[in-house]
Chains A and B, each alone.
Chain A
Amino acid sequence: MGGSLNANHLMFLGYGALWTIGLSLIGLLGGGIAGFIVALCRISPSRIVRLLSAGYVQLIQGTPLLVIMFLTYFGLPALGVTVSPLMAAGASLTIFVSAYLGEIWRGCFESVPKPQWEAAEGLALSRSQRMMKVILPQAIRIATPPTVGFMVQIIKNTSLASVVGFVELARSGQIINNSLFEPFLIYTIIAVIYFALCYPLSRFSHRLEMRGGPARIELEAA
């Protein structure tokens, strides 16, 4: 038996929590960049591009993140590409997040009132000018609350990286439990840490939504 919970164990958990945050940031950054491209493709004037990007979103949203992790970590080496747990987890999260954020942001682009697009067109602005100077600034205001809200999903989903041997918060809890056999205590601590990471984001998202509400109504009226 492994004795009782001590400071070293807690430090190990803290270290795991840091990796959870790090992996979340990788997912947010990578998925954010890829998701932005997906969103642009989803509203592209080209039908082919729209269809392909819609297919990508459907495919990824219809695949469990766990399976994406398995594919990148175990599948790619079978094809001769070796990947580290960090690379596999980061790439999987990036793919996963890109489909969801792409879809959330597509909705935000489309909820900028149509007359705004027309007014920009009527002024002879090019497509990229309309996007950058008229639509994007308004879409960002709409997109902020749901994006912050989705970060909660990213943080929780990083726990799946434990299956490819990536030592983040959940995996470090497992490791400690393997020596201490105190599952209730240890997993409660894990749950509390996840909650402490997620709850402020949920609150923040909610506050943004409340603040964004009136501004959005004005946008629609204009």
Chain B
Amino acid sequence: MHKITRTDAASSVVGLSDVHKSFGALKVLNGVSFEVNRGEVLVLIGRSGSGKSTALRCIDRFETIDSGEIVVCGHRVSDPKLDLRALRQDVGIVFQSYNLFPHLTIEENITLAPCSVKGISKAQAKEQARRVLAQVGLEDKLHQYPEQLSGGQQQRAAIARSLAMQPKVMLFDEVTSALDPELTGEVLKVIEALAADGMTMVMVTHEMGFAKGIANRVVFMHHGKVHETGPAAILTSPATPELAQFVGAGL
């Protein structure tokens, strides 16, 4: 599942160095650096407006950066001549609002990109759809439309859709923020299983308990900077007062 295609720095999947980004006069990222190695789970936390979602979106070039460098699976994301579609074949992204295509069945949602982008056969794609849906526990929803599913099921289907492209790294942008606690649980379980399988992941989340359990590394963002970073343990014994206040308020 995890083929290593590069020999140099083979373990670094995502690397940001000194990334700056402004929206007009508002400085959102102010020199952000972090690295994610293969098989690692990096959790981005911070207040609303701290820049964590923007940092995540920059990885998949949904935002362009002003300066600094981002390298993802060997792609220089900051390069204007970047092959965007090649980058996005290596990176899977799951959004807060699921964003399944409402006019397609779950199966069609999942097979669309593998068939049109990778050019695999319909039969192969359907076989794969069954497999990824089983992975997220939705094998019986193949022929339903998104609107017939609960929010948690839609989010799991969105994860399955991403998985079908066999990405090398998965990005999760507050994927449980629109869900109630029970539905959140079923989505988090799927993500945990992925982590256990060795998937490299970067996620923005407000679920501190979950972050503690899954993170290999936590990055706490504050005013567009990496304010504190370290293993999951920093969530229980923070070094800076800002993180202490944040986790205190978050629990």
Q: Which residues of A contact B (CB under 8 A)?
A: 115-116, 118-126, 129, 133-134, 137-138, 141, 218-219, 222
Contacts and interface: CB of A to CB of B under 8 A. Distances in A.
A123 B147 contact: no
A122 B112 CA distance: 12
Contacts of A124: 85-86, 88-89, 113, 117, 165
Interface in B217-231: none
Contacts of A118: 62, 95, 99
Interface string B203-237: 00000000000000000000000000000000000
Listed from nearest, the 8 A-B pairs whose CB atoms lie closest are A119-B99, A123-B113, A124-B88, A122-B93, A115-B99, A124-B85, A137-B103, A124-B89
Given A141-B103, A218-B102, A121 B88 contact: yes
B32 interface: no
Nearest to A115: B99
Given A124-B89, A124-B113, A134-B101, A119 B146 contact: no
A116 B112 contact: no
User: Which DSSP category, helix, strand, loop or mixed, fits chain A's interface?
Assistant: helix
B105 interface: no
B173 to A, nearest CB: 10
A81 B102 CA distance: 50
- Residue from A116, A134, A138, A222 having most chain B Cβ neighbours under 10 A: A222
Contacts of A141: 103
Interface residues of B, number: 29
Interface of B: 60, 62, 84-86, 88-89, 91-93, 95, 97-103, 112-113, 116-117, 146-147, 154, 158, 161-162, 165
Contacts of A137: 103
Contacts of B99: 115-116, 118-119, 222
Contacts of B86: 124
Contact of B101 (A119, A122, A126, A218): A119
B102 A123 contact: no
Nearest to A120: B101
A119 B88 CA distance: 11
Contact of B102 (A121, A125, A129, A222): A222
A115 B88 contact: no
Contacts of B103: 137-138, 141
A125 B117 CA distance: 6
Contacts of B85: 124, 126
A218 B100 CA distance: 12
- Residue from A118, A126, A141, A219 having most chain B Cβ neighbours under 10 A: A118
A19 to B, nearest CB: 38
A126 B51 CA distance: 28
A123 B146 contact: no
Nearest to A136: B103
